[in-house]
């Protein structure tokens, strides 16, 4: 087999999900090629070529890739596939790859496999369905596989490789269908939710958006990221990009602290692979306690400030 990994980056550096996808590619076996498509992104190609297991990097540098719109990027993936005839095309699960991979797959008449959590063999994969409440093992009957990879289920590939870089097959891109206008990324000094070693999430129990400051104060002491349940997002306390759960981000940090979160199955789907889970909730019956390694039945407005001040003490 031979795998094309569609690298995700910001034209400056690789986004970590790419490293998890490369690990999955290495597990599938065979040669691993990475496609770096972007605008003035030669630096990223260089970085990518040094990841363990990457044999070759295809660099596609074009103004048209601004915003990584799938209408622009998919022709390059298709051209690379046409030239090299890969057996697998994979990418780390993200807003960009979820947008791109199915668009490419439809053109190739392939049924894509979303968000795999395991590779059994080059045709057989494991993924979760029903918000993680069932584990499906499936065999792809397509001769080509298009796959997105759940990053928390695969270690990040390390550097130390020595791949070559060449230009991706030339393809003229004339995307008149869609246009990138602007991006508004939440500014935060905190570690990224998806890759932080510790995550503190708040739920409806936080009562309002201002109270999330309590979590930020604690997160500051722990170098943790702050997340939220869907209930907290729906109630308008925090923006949706903090959402952890079935339809938000999937996280698996070393430490996950659920604060004022009851533990709906949709939320558990996003965090139950965390190594250690702590639940702080005043309702002793809250289902979150069933998955917590440490549970404390207490009013969060008492517990969180107390925890923050304890972390000050040596």
CA distance 300 to 307: 10
**Closer by beta carbon to another protein, 31 or else 71:** 71
CA distance 306 to 285: 23
Closest approach of Cβ 47 to another protein, in Å? 19
Closest approach of Cβ 236 to another protein, in Å? 9
**Closer by beta carbon to another protein, 40 or else 137:** 137
**Closer by beta carbon to another protein, 83 or else 130:** 130
Contacts of 14 (CB under 8 A, 6+ apart): 7, 8, 44, 47, 48, 51
Q: In sequence order, what DSSP letters do the residues of 98-123 get, joined into one string? A: HHHHHHHHHHTT---EEEEEEEEETT
**Closer by beta carbon to another protein, 13 or else 221:** 221
Closest approach of Cβ 71 to another protein, in Å? 6
Contacts of 293 (CB under 8 A, 6+ apart): 276, 277, 278
CA distance 152 to 116: 10
DSSP state of 36: E
Closest approach of Cβ 77 to another protein, in Å? 12
Closest approach of Cβ 165 to another protein, in Å? 26
**Closer by beta carbon to another protein, 16 or else 161:** 16
Judge whether 45 and 57 are in contact, CB under 8 Å: yes
């Amino acid at each position: 087999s031979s795998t094309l990994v569609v690298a995700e980056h910001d034209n400056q550096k690789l986004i970590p999900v790419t490293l998890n996808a490369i690990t999955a590619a290495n597990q599938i076996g065979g040669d691993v090629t990475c496609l770096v498509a972007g605008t003035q992104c030669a630096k990223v190609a260089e970085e990518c070529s040094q990841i363990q297991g990457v044999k070759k990097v295809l660099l596609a540098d074009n103004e048209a890739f601004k915003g990584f719109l799938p209408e622009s990027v998919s022709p390059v993936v298709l051209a690379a596939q046409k030239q090299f005839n890969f057996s697998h095309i994979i990418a780390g699960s993200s807003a960009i790859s979820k947008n791109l991979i199915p668009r490419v797959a439809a053109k190739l008449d392939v049924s894509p496999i979303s968000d795999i959590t395991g590779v059994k063999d080059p045709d057989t994969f494991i993924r979760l369905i029903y918000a993680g409440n069932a584990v499906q093992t499936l065999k792809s009957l397509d001769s080509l596989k298009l796959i997105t990879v759940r990053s928390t289920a695969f270690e990040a590939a390390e550097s130390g490789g020595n791949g070559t870089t060449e230009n991706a097959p030339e393809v003229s891109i004339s995307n008149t269908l869609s246009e990138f206008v602007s991006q508004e990324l939440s500014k935060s000094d905190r570690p990224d939710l998806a890759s932080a070693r510790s995550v503190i999430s708040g739920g409806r129990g936080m009562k309002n958006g201002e109270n999330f400051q309590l979590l930020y104060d604690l997160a500051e002491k722990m170098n943790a990221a702050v997340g939220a349940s869907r209930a907290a997002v729906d109630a308008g306390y925090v923006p949706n990009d903090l959402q952890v759960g079935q339809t938000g981000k999937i996280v698996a940090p070393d430490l996950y602290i659920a604060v004022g979160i009851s533990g709906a199955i949709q939320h558990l789907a996003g965090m139950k692979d965390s190594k250690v889970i702590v639940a702080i909730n005043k309702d002793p019956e809250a289902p979150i306690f069933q998955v917590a390694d440490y549970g404390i039945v207490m009013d969060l407005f008492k517990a969180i400030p107390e925890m923050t001040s304890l972390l000050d003490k040596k």
